[in-house]
Structure 1
Amino acid sequence: MPGQKLKIDTRRSRIIEILNRDGQVKVSRLSEELNATPVTIRSDLDALERDGYLERIQGGAVQTAVNYYNREFIQRKRLGANVKKRIAAAAAELIHDGDTILLNSGTTVYFTAVELKRHKNLRIVTNSLTAAIELGSVPSFHVILLGGEINSRDSFTYGNDVLEQLKRYRANYAILSIDGVCAETGISTLHAEEVMVERMMMERANETIIIADSNKLEKEGFLYVCDTQAVDRLVTNREADPSVIKRLREKRIKIILG
């Protein structure tokens, strides 16, 4: 809002709106958009972090995991959608017609499902309700939705029934959306219900592809899934910190930037 300075409460409310929309904010961009000095914006971000609205990172801030996952799936699907679509498109390019794929749940998985519709004759096994519905509309696809207990908020199935069904299948790829990728501490998630599902999908696939935006790099979720070396490829967005990418490549993970 050039030429007009906002009151502190109005400015901070606007920062939260932008953060909810984009999933992350940059000091430089907020300074320009809100007509405030970088020092003022940094002070706002520090205050909002103390109140639990966000987590500070170099040059800006990202949503806290708690705030992110309290959103309904449809709301979260809108957050950082452009970045997720780029990651999804890059992941889909790794797949060939006729492949068998295991998919877990998450908004980036949903966008990957949309991109996979460019292919033909795929066999897809998933515990994601939204991915199954999206992919089930393609006549040449064979889609299997794993039955089990339902997490209605995040639209996925889980439990022993899901694990027993997964044992029946072998796949070319497991494409997994997770909550934390750290070179030293490994792959992690916030969902206790999905840990065993993700591990089983990795076990049943020839290759594991992790899809995660740069906000999840060097982050640790609540629950450990596997060591970093167990992952074959990581697909993330091109804005990722080069030093973080370097550390992950040193773990012999192939990195694709979308």
Structure 2
Amino acid sequence: MLTVERRKEILELLNKKGSVNVIELAEQYDLGKETIRRDLKALAQDWNISLVYGGASIKSALHPTSIKEQTIIQKREENAELKHKIAKAAVELINIGDIIAMNSGSTVEYMLNYIENKVPLSIITTSINIASKASMISGVDIYIPSGKIRNKSGMVISSNAENYLRNFRVQKCFFGVSAVSLGSHITHPAVEEVENNRALLSISEKVYMVADSSKFDKKSLYQLAKLGEMSGIITDKMLDEAYEMYFKNYRIKA
């Protein structure tokens, strides 16, 4: 079992029981107690969990700030008007002839509605939905890796996909996210998609996070990126002072 999968199970157990015991977990997973302690310490950094003698317990319920994965259809319908406004603003950052990357976010997908006056344009994407829609726009070249397509998001996933993406260098990446917080940074509910998203970040000179305000002060299970990796944040309203100070310190444009 992967470490991230084990930690997800431990988190679910914490949420169900309220506390866990190191010895019991070590026996359950046939691992050393130190490995379990490291798991609990890592979870405590991102979640409202207290480390106690012999285990860990929940400080308060995880539900108010945690999020579960939605289907791409659900994402398109949620805050659609705001997402269109954000998408229009994001397209203004694109220049004719750019090579850009786009992940599988619904707001990122909406950018294609406003991109016709930016052609010729090259798009590297992990999303079959974006690739299909972009293929209908004259003057757009699309590059997409091969692999399995996830039904919920339309993202292509495979180890070959990561290797394929790392062959490119792009000027700008437009990065849709599921959950953002100052404590956990950018997190994601689907472990299968983390590495492909990380690959898109690694090939990009600049990364613009596109997210409506409902995504802030939310957490999901898997660490995807640090906020400091973003070049800019495109959202629908002014953020609170804590976010503004963070972005100012890291010279992130918001």
Query: TM-score, normalization: structure 2?
Result: 0.70
Distance, in Å, in 2 between the alignment partners of 1:82 and 1:244 is 26
What are the ranges of 5 or more consecutive residues in structure 2 without an aligned counterpart? 1-61
Distance, in Å, in 1 between the alignment partners of 2:147 and 2:231 is 28
Superposition misfits of 4+ residues, deviation over 4 angstroms: none
- Contact 2:67–2:219 (Cα < 8 Å) also in 1: no
Q: Which residue of 2 aligns with 1:246?
A: 244
Q: Which residue of 2 aligns with 1:105?
A: 104
The structural deviation recorded for 1:243 is 2.2
Matches within 5 A, 1:18-33: none
Q: CA RMSD in A?
A: 2.1
- Contact 2:96–2:118 (Cα < 8 Å) also in 1: yes
1:132 maps onto 2:134 in alignment: no
SS of the counterpart of 2:118?
coil
Write out per-residue CA displacement over residues 207-251 of structure 1, whole angstroms, 9 at most, x where no aligned residue: 11111111111222211112221111111111x443244233234
Q: Which residue of 2 aligns with 1:85?
A: 84
- Contact 2:198–2:225 (Cα < 8 Å) also in 1: yes
1:152 maps onto 2:151 in alignment: yes
Write out per-residue CA displacement over residues 40-88 of structure 1, whole angstroms, 9 at most, x where no aligned residue: xxxxxxxxxxxx9x959xxxxxxx733xx34x42243121100101111
Distance, in Å, in 1 between the alignment partners of 2:113 and 2:130 is 8
CA 1:247 to 1:225, structure 2 compared with 1: closer, same or farther past 3 Å? same
- Contact 1:135–1:141 (Cα < 8 Å) also in 2: yes
- Contact 1:100–1:171 (Cα < 8 Å) also in 2: yes
1:114 maps onto 2:113 in alignment: yes
The structural deviation recorded for 1:172 is 0.3
- Contact 2:228–2:252 (Cα < 8 Å) also in 1: no
Distance, in Å, in 1 between the alignment partners of 2:207 and 2:110 is 18
What are the ranges of 5 or more consecutive residues in structure 1 without an aligned counterpart? 1-51, 57-63
SS of the counterpart of 1:118?
helix
CA 1:118 to 1:151, structure 2 compared with 1: closer, same or farther past 3 Å? same
Q: Which residue of 1 aligns with 2:201?
A: 202
Q: Share of identical aligned residues, percent?
A: 21
- Contact 1:188–1:225 (Cα < 8 Å) also in 2: yes
- Contact 2:177–2:209 (Cα < 8 Å) also in 1: yes
SS of the counterpart of 1:234?
strand
Q: Which amino acid aligns with 2:67?
A: A
Query: TM-score, normalization: structure 1?
Result: 0.69
SS of the counterpart of 1:254?
coil
Q: Which residue of 1 aligns with 2:142?
A: 143
1:65 maps onto 2:63 in alignment: no
